[in-house]
Structure 1
Amino acid sequence: MNQNFDIIIVGGGAAGFFTAINIAEKNPKLKVAILERGTEVLNKVRISGGGRCNVTHACFEPNELVKFYPRGEKELRGPFHQFCSGDTIEWFEKHGVELKIEADGRMFPVSNSSQTIIDCFLKATQKLGIAVLTGQSVQSIFKKDNLWKIETQNENYLTEKLILATGSNPKIWEMLQTFGHAVVSPVPSLFTFNIKDARIKELPGVTAQVTVKVKDTKLTSTGPLLITHWGMSGPTILKLSAWGARILHDKNYQFTIFVNWLNDVDATDAEKILKELKQEHAKKSVSKKSPFELTNRLWESLVLASGIESETKWADLSKIQLQNLANQLTNGTFQVNGKSTFKEEFVTAGGIDLKEINFKTMESKLHENLYFAGEIVNIDAITGGFNFQNAWTSGFIVANVIS
C-alpha cells in the first residue's frame, strides 16, 4: 500500500522541519510529510551549542556572512540575499521565540535552551497538520512516472516533490550517486589538534590571542586559542580545521604548526621589546611576571623552553637567550599528531557537488522535483551558528519555490 503526499521531506532535523513548516504556512492545502529514520526528531538541534542551540550569527550582510563558509562561499551569496540572519531572527520572533546576541556574535534563544526551538517546530508542525513519521529508514528511492517512490523498511510512499534534508548520511549519498549525482567524499571539518609537548603539558585551560600557521600550506588563522589536556583547541584552531579540512585530511592529521603567542608581533620586533625589558627590569627575575598579554604560567613555560632558568635575572640574559625567547614567543613550532572531534558538534566537509544544484531554487540540475536543504550538500561553516543559518536559508528557498 502506498501512502501519497504532495511533498515528502526526508530528514527530521533542522533543515527538514524548517522547510516543511515554511511550505505548509505558504500553502496549507498541500499534504506534507517528514520521514525520520530515528525514533526522535531534531536530535542535533537538542545538543547543539551545548544544549542552548546556536540558532544563527549576528552578521547581517550577505557578502560578509558568506566568508564564514569554507565550502559554499560563492554559492550562498544569492541565497543569503533572499533569506539572511535578520530574516531568521524575524521568523523565530513571529513564531514566539526571541533570540539574543552574545558578545562574540553568536545568537541563542533568550531561554538559553534548545528545547525552545524544538517546541517551536513541533508546535508548528502539529498546527499545520504536517505528518511527522519516525522510524522510517529509507531503503530506496526511485522515479515512477512523474512521481518519486520512497521505500522505507515498513512503508512505501509516493510524492510529486521530494526534498532531501538528511545531513551527512552516507546511505542517502550512495542512493544519489546511482541517480548520477556526484558526491564529494566527506571528511571531518571541525576538530581540535592533538599535541604532546612539554611546553603546554601543564597548562590545560590557559587561553591566548594568537596567530597559527600550518607549515607548507597557506593556512593561517588568528583568534583565541585554548590549551587542553590533549593539545590545542579554541576558535582559531577550529577555524583552521574547517578551512583546512581537505588539506589536513590528506596529511593524515600529521603536520607542523607555528604559533605566534604575540599575535602580530614578529621575531625582530619581539627581540627589540625584550632588549628594552632587559634594560628596564635588569634586577628582576625573567620568568616571574609576564610582560605581555599572556598568563604568567604560559610565559614561564616559554621562558624555560628558551633555555632560561627560572631564577635568571633580565640583566643576565645572553644574546642567544633573547633570540630564543623571541622565537618561542613569535614562532613556536608544535607537532600535531592526530585530531579529536566533538561527537555532538560533528560537522563534515563533503556532500552533493555544488555544480549540480540550482541555488536559486535548491533543485537538482539532474532531476526535476528533487530538492536539497541543509548539510546534505557540500557546504559547511565554522562554528558560531553558521551551519544552522545555511539550513534555514536553503529550507526557506525550497519552500518559496514549491509551495
Structure 2
Amino acid sequence: MKKVIIIGGGAAGFFTAINVKELNPELDVTILEKGKDVLQKVKISGGGRCNVTHACFEPKELIKNYPRGKKELLGPFHQFMTGDTFEWFDNRGVPLKVENDNRVFPEANTSQAIISCFTELTNKLNIKVTTNQNVIDIEHQNHSWKVITKNKNHQCDFLVIASGSGKKIWDLAKKLNHKIITPVPSLFTFNIKDPRIFDLGGVSVPNAIVKIAKTKLENSGPLLITHWGLSGPAVLKLSAHGARILSEKNYQYNVIVNWLGMDSDEVLEMLNNFKKKLSKKHIYLRSPFSNLPKRLWERLLNATKISTNANWADLSNKQLNSLSIQLTQGLFNANGRTTFKDEFVTAGGIDLKEIDFKRFESKIHKNLFIVGEALNIDAVTGGFNFQNAWTSGYICAKSIAENSIL
C-alpha cells in the first residue's frame, strides 16, 4: 500500500488528505501536526465563524484578490473554483451562505461546522491524524521520502507540505534546494497618531479612498478608525498589495485619505452649495455628508481652524478650500503597523517558479507537493486564503490519486 504523508494539520492539510482518500481509498494517508491541536486557524477565522470563501465565481475576477500568486492561480481556479467549494461542503452536510459583503460562511454560523466535517471525515476514511509531531528533517531517498520528527521517523511515497507559513518548514524546503522568497507581513493596519482621529476608535466611513503617498498604491472601501490608527477593508487590502513596498519603507510613510470617496472639485462645489443653503446654520451642528460621522466631521473642522461658533455663511473661500482638502486629501503619517496575531498572514514563501501549478508538485522533486500558504501566495481579507487552500489541496490530491494508480 502506497503511503501519503501530509505535514500540517490545518485547512489545506485536512482538505488534501480527505480528497486523496476519497479519490483513492487504497492509499495510506497520515497527517502530521506539530502542535497538540489541529485546525486552530479554522477555529478562529472569521471571528470564530470561518470565512470559507468569497462569492466571486469568475477566475479572472477572483485572482485580482491575490497580490502574490495572481497569474499562477488562474489555471487552478478553472479546475476547482468557488462554486466547487460550495458543492464540496454541501455534499458533505455543511451548506454555506453568502453574506451582504459576499463573504461566505457555514449556515451554522460557526467554524465548528467545518472542523467537525473534517474530523468526522478523517475518522470515517481511516486517515491517521497525529499531533505533537514537530518535523525536524526531510530526506529524499531514491523514490521515497523520509520525514523525521522528534518522536518518530515516517516513510512515504508522496509527501505534501501543507504547514502554512513558517521559518522551520521553509528552512527544510531550502535544504531540498527550493528558493524561499523572504517573508514580510501582509494584512496589517496602519499605526497613526493624529489629533484628527485620536479617541475616535470605532468610527467608520463606508467608502473611502486610501493612497500611499509617492507610490501607485491605492485602494477603496470601508475605512475604520481604531485606537492605534486606521484599519478596515480599504487599509487591509492596501497593506496586502503593498506588503513589500511598505516593508522597504520600514512602515514609515504618508497616507492620503479621501473620507468621502469623491472628487475634490465635486466636494468643493457641494461645500459652496451648503454655504448658500445652510447659511444661518451652525456648521458644527451636524455633518452635511450622510456617510461622514458627526464626530469625525467636527475633528476635520477643527483641523481646518474653523471656529466652533461659526455658521456656514461665515466661511471664507480659503476655509472651504482647506475643508475640501481635509475631506478628500487628508495627509496622515503612518509609523508602524499592527497585525492580527491569531490570523497572521505573510507575503513570502516557496518560489512559485519552482511549482507545477497543474499539479501543485515541485519541479525539483517528483512526488513532493506544496499547497496553501507555504507557497509565496497570499490574499486580501475575505475568504480568499481559504479558497487557495481548497483549490491547491484538491488539485494536489487529484494528482496524487492519479499518480498512485500508475
TM-score after normalising by structure 2: 0.97
Deviation at 1:170, TM superposition (A): 0.8
Contact 1:187 1:245 in 2 (8 A): yes
Q: Name the CA distance, whole Å, in 1 between partners of 2:102 and 2:85.
A: 14
Is it true that 1:154 corresponds to 2:140 in the alignment?
no
Q: Which residue does 1:310 correspond to in 2?
A: 308
What does the per-residue CA deviation read over 1:37-78, in whole Å, with 9 as the maximum and x for residues that have no partner?
111111111111111100011111111111110111110000
Q: Name the CA distance, whole Å, in 2 between partners of 1:232 and 1:71.
A: 23
Deviation at 1:203, TM superposition (A): 1.4
Q: Name the CA distance, whole Å, in 1 between partners of 2:185 and 2:2.
A: 35
Q: Which residue does 1:187 correspond to in 2?
A: 184
Deviation at 1:269, TM superposition (A): 2.6
Count of matched residue positions in the alignment of Structure 1 and Structure 2 = 399
SS at match of 1:132: strand
Deviation at 1:402, TM superposition (A): 1.1
SS at match of 1:252: coil
The residue type paired with residue 274 of structure 2 is: L
Q: Name the CA distance, whole Å, in 2 between partners of 1:9 and 1:163.
A: 5
Deviation at 1:174, TM superposition (A): 0.6
Is it true that 1:35 corresponds to 2:27 in the alignment?
no
The residue type paired with residue 246 of structure 2 is: L
Which consecutive unaligned segments of at least 5 residues does structure 1 have? none
Deviation at 1:5, TM superposition (A): 5.7
Query: Which of 253, 261, 270 in structure 2 is aligned with 1:273?
Result: 270
Q: Name the CA distance, whole Å, in 1 between partners of 2:60 and 2:397.
A: 23
Deviation at 1:169, TM superposition (A): 1.7
Alignment of 1:72-221 (within 5 A): 72-208=69-205, 209-221=207-219
Q: Name the CA distance, whole Å, in 2 between partners of 1:225 and 1:375.
A: 27
Q: Name the CA distance, whole Å, in 1 between partners of 2:36 and 2:281.
A: 65
Q: Name the CA distance, whole Å, in 2 between partners of 1:146 and 1:152.
A: 20
The residue type paired with residue 260 of structure 2 is: L
Query: Which of 243, 246, 249 in structure 2 is aligned with 1:245?
Result: 243
What does the per-residue CA deviation read over 1:261-308, in whole Å, with 9 as the maximum and x for residues that have no partner?
120222x33222211211111111112111112111111111111010
Contact 1:5 1:33 in 2 (8 A): no
Alignment of 1:334-373 (within 5 A): 334-373=332-371
Q: Using the aligned pairs only, state the percent identity.
A: 58
SS at match of 2:196: helix
Q: Which residue does 1:319 correspond to in 2?
A: 317
Relative to structure 2, which stretch is displaced further, 278-287 or 102-111? 278-287
Q: Which residue does 2:18 correspond to in 1?
A: 21
SS at match of 2:157: strand
Q: Name the CA distance, whole Å, in 1 between partners of 2:266 and 2:47.
A: 41
What does the per-residue CA deviation read over 1:8-53, in whole Å, with 9 as the maximum and x for residues that have no partner?
1110100000000000001111111111111111111111111110
Relative to structure 2, which stretch is displaced further, 4-13 or 38-47? 4-13
Q: Name the CA distance, whole Å, in 2 between partners of 1:123 and 1:281.
A: 65
SS at match of 1:334: strand
Q: Name the CA distance, whole Å, in 1 between partners of 2:43 and 2:156.
A: 29
Contact 1:125 1:131 in 2 (8 A): yes
Q: Which residue does 1:295 correspond to in 2?
A: 293
What does the per-residue CA deviation read over 1:151-192, in whole Å, with 9 as the maximum and x for residues that have no partner?
100101111110100101211101111211100011110111
Which consecutive unaligned segments of at least 5 residues does structure 2 have? 402-406
Q: Which residue does 1:383 correspond to in 2?
A: 381
Contact 1:212 1:220 in 2 (8 A): yes
TM-score after normalising by structure 1: 0.98
Contact 1:186 1:350 in 2 (8 A): yes
CA 1:154–1:202: 2 relative to 1, 3 Å: closer
Q: Name the CA distance, whole Å, in 1 between partners of 2:272 and 2:53.
A: 47
Relative to structure 2, which stretch is displaced further, 118-127 or 315-324? 315-324
Relative to structure 2, which stretch is displaced further, 288-297 or 358-367? 288-297
Q: Which residue does 1:231 correspond to in 2?
A: 229
